[in-house]
Amino acid sequence: MTQQIQSGTGPAAIISDIHANLEALEAVLLDIQKHQCEKIVCLGDVVGYGPNPRECIARLRELSIPAIRGNHDAACSANAFPSSMNPVAGVAVVWTQSVLREEEKEWLRNLPLVLNEEDTTFVHASPRCPADWTYILRSRDADSAFGSFDGKFCFIGHTHQPVAWIRNEHQLANELFDRLVISETDRYLINVGSVGQPRDNDPRAAYVLFDRSKGIIELRRVPYDFRKTQEKILAAQLPRQLAERLEHGW
């Protein structure tokens, strides 16, 4: 059972794209703890790329964090070769498939594609055909996404680049944000960035605090010991680029 986000309570923490990076996940969980969050939601891609898929799954389960299925969760829990992924991602998927226990794959397979709570939708890539894993990078994609959820808020991940798409009856705008003040009349499509593999040239882990009672959506950036993650990636003989990119945030 998931708790409801209610007004008058603490913020919700929304995390995404952990990608088996345990150091980043632990750093984010500590930061979340400091903010007395009422709940945590994970938008998927718990695994893939990183060296600690089992540990990251275990941590989410231990904390009963509701999670959505991402494309890497789907690929890593299948027993087929990932045909639609780039070669580096594919190597990591095959490695992850070999490491995960059947019961963990089953948990990944059973994650829902979408979670709806009151006026808020949570999905990995896009509320429009979630299983197509569309990247919302252009206004056109954001526009059709806004037509695919009913409420005021939709939280997404997938691109690993935090951004706020804001829509009202006059316009659709996007902005990089640290802190958004929620307006009465706007609707929001918020990309919360990535915990375990940020791609906006900032290596710090990213996640969002959604404080409904204060009317604030805040992007948090949390430094973590990526050197340790890099060592583990190399020790697991995963592709070297997957280690290198963590220190640059791309």
> For Zn ion, which is the closer residue by CB, 38 or 45?
45
Binding residue for Zn ion (CB under 5 A) from 31, 38, 45, 211? 45
Under the binding rule (CB under 5 A), the answer on residue 73 touching Zn ion is no
By CB under 5 A, how many residues form the interface with Zn ion?
A: 2
Under the binding rule (CB under 5 A), the answer on residue 17 touching Zn ion is yes
How far is 223 from 198, CA to CA, in rounded Å? 11
Closest CB 194 distance from Zn ion, rounded Å: 6
Closest CB 30 distance from Zn ion, rounded Å: 22
DSSP type of residue 219: E
- The pair of structure tokens assigned to 124 is 């990995």
Residues 6+ apart with CB under 8 A from 59: 22, 25, 26, 29
Closest CB 230 distance from Zn ion, rounded Å: 18
Closest CB 133 distance from Zn ion, rounded Å: 9
Under the binding rule (CB under 5 A), the answer on residue 31 touching Zn ion is no
Q: Which stretch binds Zn ion (CB under 5 A): 40-48, 55-63, 184-192, 218-226?
A: 40-48
How far is 46 from 71, CA to CA, in rounded Å? 10
Angle (CA) 64-11-176 rounded to 5° is 110
> For Zn ion, which is the closer residue by CB, 55 or 186?
55
> For Zn ion, which is the closer residue by CB, 13 or 20?
20
In the complex, which residue's CB is closest to Zn ion? 45
Q: Which strands sit side by side in the sheet containing 153-156, from one edge to the other?
A: 114-117, 120-123, 153-156, 187-191, 163-167, 172-175
How far is 90 from 97, CA to CA, in rounded Å? 10
The footprint of Zn ion (CB under 5 A) covers 17, 45
